[in-house]
Amino acid sequence: MFKRVLVANRGEIAARILRACREMSIETVAVFSEADRGALFTTLATQAVCIGPAPAKNSYLNQDALLTVAQATGCDAVHPGYGFLSENAGFAARVRELGITFIGPTPEVISTLGDKNRARALMRTCGVPVVPGSDGLVADADEALEIAERLGYPVLLKATSGGGGRGMRRVYAAGDLPDAFSAATAEAAACFGEDGMYLEKLIVSPRHIEVQVLADALGTTVHLGERDCTLQRNHQKVLEEAPASILSEETRAALLADALKAANAVGYTNAGTVEFVLAPDSSYYFIEMNTRIQVEHPITEMITGINIVREQLRVASGLPLTFSQDEVEFRGHAIECRINAEDPEQGFCPSPGIIDYLHLPSGFGVRVDTVLHPQYAISPFYDSMIAKLIVHGRSRSEAICRMRRALEETVVSGVTTNIPLHYMLMYNPDFISNHTDTGFLERNLSDLLRPLGDEGKL
């Protein structure tokens, strides 16, 4: 097992990893920017090192600084968390070249799965369902038009270096395709430095279902069930659930088997997430595979009782997974609400500021992953998520009731948050009956932001 791990991240996920290491008697090195000096997560580490000024590119994305600190403090592993450099194959390769373990898949696997067209081709050859679409990259608008004619509109143009919804363009008619193609190509070149585009039939009104996988380096790959991440806004997940209650047992079994097939096809090791879109007719299609631990991993931990970060550390050090697939049990239902310092009434613009009064919920079946404290200054330099409120219940309806209670207890004053939006969701009939799709939140925002009647006074 590792002696000392550098956590190359900040905030709640840094705290999450530092806590797992402490429980495993692994020494830790936290890194922080000037904006995060004294932050709670730095106090959970054996030692904390300042790696630069507030802007991420000068600190949490500063590979030289991170590698220098890892070497200078004698770390034998680096955990990247999510975001920042967590899916950067070049960084993972530089860590490995220093003889330090990158806690995640190999640089080669990160690179393969980061090329969305290549990942799609790999999945198709191993029999994982992919959306009908182009056979590889599309050279120009004329080729795109030909393929789209065959597929039928609407289609989706996707940047091969995109992912997470970036570099995607919906096209509803042939007349729109040439402009959409050149706009998407230009955007991809600007954002990713690579403008390869591929084409897929647009799956209309889908749900977003993802499968947590864990693989050790000894050939064992398991799944930890699926998560329903359908409630999104601007490609940002707002609320996630486990399991995806919408799935029939039959669809669930097939989808989980395909996720394992995907992980094995690429030679996956460590924790990863296989993403699918689920169509209204219950057909599902591989979209992409994420090579990092995800924000929403706690809901899987709540229904399986498995500490995913602990398993990441174990398998990265060459140890086997502590369980077989048959030993993974699923109990109850978990929901995570991402609490963001943003103002839904002002187009969700970030609302940084100083936390004044703070009361966080607790009690049976409630978990809060956060580094908030009174007087905490929410930085404008990083994303607006300030806490994850996670609840577990024996059923989805019990989890919804518990989430209502937890949200009612939560008081974050000094900044504007999206807590009222979450509270309205917990009372929304379509949410309660689970009749949603990836466009639901954006379609219903005005209803969801209208003040509640008497029964819902916050």
| Cα three-residue angle 368-373-378, rounded to 5 degrees | 100
**Binding ligand MV4 by CB under 6 A: which of 156, 209, 337, 441?**
156
Smallest distance, Å, CB 65 to ligand MV4? 30
Q: Which is nearer to ligand MV4, 204 or 452 (CB)?
A: 204
**Binding ligand MV4 by CB under 6 A: which of 36, 87, 200, 241?**
200
Q: Which of residues 8-67 bind ligand MV4 (CB under 6 A)?
A: none
**Binding ligand MV4 by CB under 6 A: which of 164, 175, 305, 374?**
164
**Helix or strand run (H / E) with residue 353:** strand 353-354
Phi-psi region of 380 (alpha: psi -120 to 50; beta: other; left: phi over 0): alpha
Q: Give residue for tokens 């398993």.
A: 311
**Binding ligand MV4 by CB under 6 A: which of 20, 92, 119, 131?**
131
**Binding residues for ligand MV4, how many (CB under 6 A)?**
18
Q: Which is nearer to ligand MV4, 202 or 391 (CB)?
A: 202
Name which of 220, 209, 211 is nearest 311 in CA terms: 220
The two three-digit tokens of residue 206, written as one number: 């889908």
Residues in contact with 432: Cβ distance below 8 Å, sequence separation at least 6, in sequence order: 397, 400, 426
Q: Which stretch binds ligand MV4 (CB under 6 A): 201-209, 291-299, 310-318, 337-345?
A: 201-209
Using alpha carbons only, how large is the chain's radius of gyration in Å? 22
The C-alpha atoms of residue 224 and residue 396 are separated, in whole angstroms, by: 18
Phi-psi region of 171 (alpha: psi -120 to 50; beta: other; left: phi over 0): beta
**Binding ligand MV4 by CB under 6 A: which of 203, 259, 316, 389?**
203
Q: Which is nearer to ligand MV4, 80 or 163 (CB)?
A: 163
Catalytic residue, chosen from 120, 252, 292, 338, is 292
Q: Which stretch binds ligand MV4 (CB under 6 A): 22-30, 35-43, 75-83, 199-207?
A: 199-207
Smallest distance, Å, CB 253 to ligand MV4? 22
Residues in contact with 288: Cβ distance below 8 Å, sequence separation at least 6, in sequence order: 113, 116, 119, 163, 275
Taking the C-alpha atoms of 321, 322, 328 and 331 in order, what is their torsion angle to the nearest 10 degrees?
-130
Q: Which of residues 280-319 bind ligand MV4 (CB under 6 A)?
A: 287-288
Smallest distance, Å, CB 290 to ligand MV4? 9
208 binds ligand MV4 (CB under 6 A): yes
Residues in contact with 324: Cβ distance below 8 Å, sequence separation at least 6, in sequence order: 220, 222
Smallest distance, Å, CB 237 to ligand MV4? 8
CB 393 within 8 A of CB 370: no
Q: Which stretch binds ligand MV4 (CB under 6 A): 18-26, 67-75, 163-171, 211-219?
A: 163-171
CB 389 within 8 A of CB 406: yes
**Binding ligand MV4 by CB under 6 A: which of 419, 438, 440, 441?**
438
Q: Which stretch binds ligand MV4 (CB under 6 A): 61-69, 196-204, 298-306, 423-431?
A: 196-204
> Is 292 an active-site residue?
yes
The C-alpha atoms of residue 121 and residue 369 are separated, in whole angstroms, by: 37
235 binds ligand MV4 (CB under 6 A): yes
Q: Which residues are catalytic?
A: 292
Binding residues (CB under 6 A) for ligand MV4: these are 131, 156, 164-165, 168, 200-203, 206, 208, 232, 235, 275, 277, 287-288, 438
